[in-house]
Structure 1
Amino acid sequence: SHFLHCNILQIKSFLSFTIQSSTELEINLLKIMKLSFTKVSLTNILILFNCLFIIFSMIVLTFGVIPQIYLLKFANILHGVRPSIFPIVCFTGSFVIIVACVGIIGLMKGGKCLLTMHFIALIIATIIDISTATLSAIKQNEFLTKAGHVLNDSSKLYYKNRLYATEFDLMHITFKCCNVKNDYSLLGTLHLIPESCTHGTDIYKQQCNEPLNKYVRYYIDILIY
């Protein structure tokens, strides 16, 4: 009877230990699963954010490239004058796309070094974009002034340089303007107003740098705001 009682106690003790161990194991497994689920969810969220960064950067890149391609039509008479924000956003946009792709690879592979470089690069690109946007907002009339000076200088060669004449004609027709000041600097030796400066009997009186600046400001405002 005493032996049987001891066995029963041992069995109860064993069962109690087994149940306790099983409970602890279940709790630990739940904790591991919860941590694993949280890690996977966080990784997926970060990958999604990087994909959004890529899409946003492609949009920014597009608005930085389009006006530059358009300004190439007048590259000679403008002497390469363009708002600095366009090449900068093209660089940062391309840079962020590469960085975001590296970040996605790092998140998938779990590379801490890649992720660290990824976050540092994103911070640097963000600082550059904010600084550029701020400077562009402050110097709103910089392109207007520079383009005005350059176009006035180039207009003096209208009748001497056929390439300049072609670009000016295109600018006059496109923007309904004429780069003629009160001193009629564009008249040249022939003393004629270019046909591209006229619409019927009317002569365009607006300086070309003004509508050109409006075109450029449209894209700058999109990039800033």
Structure 2
Amino acid sequence: MAASGSVRYYSRTGPDGDDFQCDPFVQPQGEHKATIVWLHDKDDYYFDSVKFAKTLNLENVRWICPAMVYTNTSNYDFGCNIKRDSQETLDSAATLVASLFSREPPNVIKGVGGSGMGAVAALHFARNCALGHYPMNPQLVVGIDGWLSIAGSLKSSIDATVGAAARAASQSILLAHETDVSDDRRLPYTCDEEVVVSLREAGFGEVMFVPYLSLRRMVIRSLLA
């Protein structure tokens, strides 16, 4: 399936031209109790997400790791000044995630997350669900080294939309950010604090922020277990 707009599936070819033939699904080893769509960063590949999901070893979780290309996205911009074409890219990513969830059993817990640009897309999807853009609402949202676009107008959007407050309140959100960042593309973790404030003021449910050094797997596994 190809996504509409500016997000599309990768081929199964890796960065060195190798054909990995990696399955983008990690199936539960036990009873299927939750489905999590995990989105990779802008310069990563879907099989990186597959490897990450497998290391968590959550036996009751089905993981979907779509391969996407993020085009026309601003390089790690923050706040309400996101460009229009970047907004369209995030909307396309959110539509793809909603399509993937539409095929999942209705009685399982739904979660979405990602790292870097994948975290941006995951948070954007959560926002759109709260605003009623899709006929579902994730219970769990995780963003690693990412941020929420147009965070400044979030509360007014929720307040102005019928039913949005209840949908937002039912979402649990975790933000995690590395505190020792040498990559100039990434924002200092203090920016996450602004996002946390915006989410809480808008009435989202439990909103947590966890700074970390290099404990990504341990942090996320403990919160998803």
Higher strand share: 2
Shorter-chain TM-score range: under 0.3
TM value normalised by structure 2: 0.22
TM value normalised by structure 1: 0.22
Of structures 1 and 2, the larger Rg is shown by: 1
